[in-house]
Amino acid sequence: MRRRDVIAGVGAAVAWPAEGCAQAGAQRRLGILLVYGESHPDVPIIVDTLRGTLQQLGWTWNRNLAVDLRLGNGDPEKMRRQTDEILAKKPDVVFAQGVVGTTALQRATSTTPVVFIQVQDPVGGGFVTSLSRPGGNLTGFTNFDYAFVGKWLQLLKELSRGVTRTLAIINPDYPARFAGYAAELARIGPELGIDARIAGVHDAAEIAQAITAFVEAPSGGLIVLPDAVTGVHSQLIVDLAAQCRLPAVYAYAAQVRIGGLAAYTTSVSRDVQQAAGYIDRILRGTAVGGLPVQASERFLTLINLRTAAALGLTITPSLLAKADELIE
């Protein structure tokens, strides 16, 4: 299904009244707040998977489940406005993507149940008091802890043995997350013979400035950390890495499918399926505070062979054997 068809379908869910419900009161309402914009390749995956999984669980969009979808395009201020729009419809539960989306909802409501995905360090970030018993109105699924820095650095080193310097980029506005990644880069980097540093970026201009300044010295590699800013500007980062002949490891599969070199990542569709299970339980009466925060359960290695060839990299047989997906 084309991306615009997916968005149009959800728009219909927002605009049309429920049809086929035995009683008007039987319809429930789901809010969806995504950090990406319409053009991001993960949007149709998230929307289609959420719709399909909820239907399998008995919730049909436009019938017994009204849906309000908002796309933030990485803009925190826009997402704050969209949060107000969603909450004004008095949803029974809201599905939130990422730290930015979850933060917007946390600041706006302490009562409406929220199920999140793609949030790193939910305890350190102040979203929940405990993973096993969140206790408030938020719960969901965390995809990466800071230890994944070691996975990304190791993958980069396997792809390009000559790398001795790395730059990791992420939005710095969430201090606990930024500090967590910075500390792990400083700890793991020397073990791999890498001077690993981190830079805060807020927009396209800062991304371009950070990368072009970094490549002034040789033997560099890039780590694109999971974040709304790096996600929304994925194509820019991929293009800059290609122009600068910079080997780069990404946090999401979509970034490799549009030309990035490699990723160690979670399955977005599986994360959404798990979240849909929580949404179903909440709609059927389970208290959100009693649902534990869970970690993603499936991890994938992707390598773009065309990008590797363009960079003059030879992928070893052992690395090829570890890859879950090869893009040619």
Which pLDDT does position 4 carry in this prediction? 45
**Predicted confidence band of residue 297 (pLDDT cuts 50, 70, 90):** confident
Which pLDDT does position 100 carry in this prediction? 92
Which pLDDT does position 192 carry in this prediction? 95
- The two structure tokens encoding residue 312: 């003059």
Flag whether pLDDT at 9 surpasses 80. Answer: no
Flag whether pLDDT at 64 surpasses 90. Answer: yes
Name the pTM for this structure. 0.87
Rounded mean pLDDT of the chain? 91
Domain 3-143+268-297 has CATH 3.90.700.10: no
Longest dimension (CA), the chain: 67
Q: Say how far residue 175 (Cα) sits from the centre of its chain.
A: 18
Segments making up each domain of the chain, as ranges: 3-143+268-297, 148-266+300-327
240, 21 contact by CB (below 8 A): no
- The two structure tokens encoding residue 57: 């669980």
For 317-328, the pLDDT digits (tens) are 999 999 999 998
Q: In what order do the strands lie in the sheet with 294-295?
A: 65-71, 28-34, 93-97, 114-117, 138-142, 294-295
Which pLDDT does position 14 carry in this prediction? 38
For 221-275, the pLDDT digits (tens) are 999 999 999 999 999 999 999 999 999 999 999 999 999 999 999 999 999 999 9
Which pLDDT does position 296 carry in this prediction? 86
232, 202 contact by CB (below 8 A): no
Q: Which of 11-15, 153-157, 166-170 has the lowest mean pLDDT?
A: 11-15
Query: Do 3-143+268-297 and 148-266+300-327 come out as alike in CATH topology?
Result: yes
CATH superfamily, domain 148-266+300-327, is Response regulator (3.40.50.2300)
Dihedral, 224, 226, 228, 232 alpha carbons, nearest 10:
40
Which pLDDT does position 20 carry in this prediction? 35
CA distance linking residue 267 with residue 117, whole number of Å: 11
10 contacts: CB under 8 Å, gap ≥ 6: 32, 47, 61, 67, 69
99, 228 contact by CB (below 8 A): yes
